[in-house]
Amino acid sequence: MSTVTQIAEMPATHKNGSGSLNDLQSLTTESPNEASQGFDTKSALEIARIINHEDAKIAAAVRKALPEIAEVIDTVARCLRDGGRLIYVGAGSSGRIAALDASECPPSYSTSPQTVQYIMAGGPKALASAADVNEDSPELGQRDIARRRPTRKDIVIGVSASGRTPYVVGAVEYARARGARTAAVTCNHNTALEDVADIAIVAEVGPEVISGSTRMKAGSAQKQILNMITTGAMTRLGYVYENLMVNVHMRNDKLVERGICILMRACNIDRATAVQTIKIAGKSIPVALVMLKANVDKPEAVRRLANASGNVRLAIEDSTLEL
């Protein structure tokens, strides 16, 4: 069958395993933007100004969703503390943003790659090349999340600018039925994804400068939100001390230098002392920090961190304090 024939035979609206889908034209992320009318006739500076003006609206849209974001932060922290996982599900630009957030947790907080995961329509190969056809199937979403065997300990977060992506809706619906906590990150209200999630984070950024190009304002909003979720959860778990990334994984020269600087700043010590303490601590910044702040040896610092489930501040302040 030719592409033209396929298009001709497509219904105006269609249903999938997630239920009826809204017409794209009804979504604010798909609506034309009056601020960018005649965009193709603008100079480079005018183009940049229009995009910048529209981008200035993103933070305000995210601000309205802060209560829901905070609820998700605490839910993620509880799940991870109990040995569960955060599993993102997305497609297209939203999936790539989710994959980026998941992949940055291990180097930033020394978490296991299994702790924060992502599932993307089309699989890892879709990170570099479009596999958009896969996002039309809720069954594929259900199949892919089923392979991760979600449980009551886990939280599954669906990321979809439109809030109607069948792949994401199917996956989140499946995870919720298996007892996992679920959340939605979207840029439109009253969507199928919002309906199947326990918590809905909606950042309504409005029409895009290029109509429907949700890698722009919607993508930026989603990036901000996912940053807040994982940064907030890791902080609640105690992997941040003051505003320092003390759980940094020192795998390369840049991260080694960052670890040294973190210890120097947190303990107000010179570089030589920081380097020597890190060596004694087995290249662990949390262990080194507890050693210096609590004035204890390495075995005691390790014991305190184990008792505090890795929470650095609790390990420093009171080794007997129960979480």
**Residue 318 tokens, joined:** 């009171």
Residues 6+ positions from 75 with CB-CB distance below 8 Å: 155, 181, 183, 199
DSSP states along 197-224: SSEEEE----S-SSTT-TTTHHHHHHHH
Can 173 be counted among the known catalytic residues?
Answer: no
Residues 71, 104, 204, 300: which is the catalytic one?
Answer: 104
d(CA 191, CA 185): 11
Residue 189 in tokens: 């209200």
**Which is the catalytic residue, given 135, 173, 194, 208?**
135
CA atoms of 139 and 119, how far apart (whole Å): 14
Residues 6+ apart with CB under 8 A from 197: 158, 172, 176, 182, 183, 184
Q: Is 9 a catalytic residue?
A: no
Q: Note whether 173 and 18 are within 8 A (CB).
A: yes
Looking only at the bridges linking them, the beta strands covering 116-120 and 86-90 are parallel
Structure tokens at 245: 């990334």
The whole-angstrom separation of Cα 128 and Cα 51 is 25
Q: Which residues are catalytic?
A: 104, 135
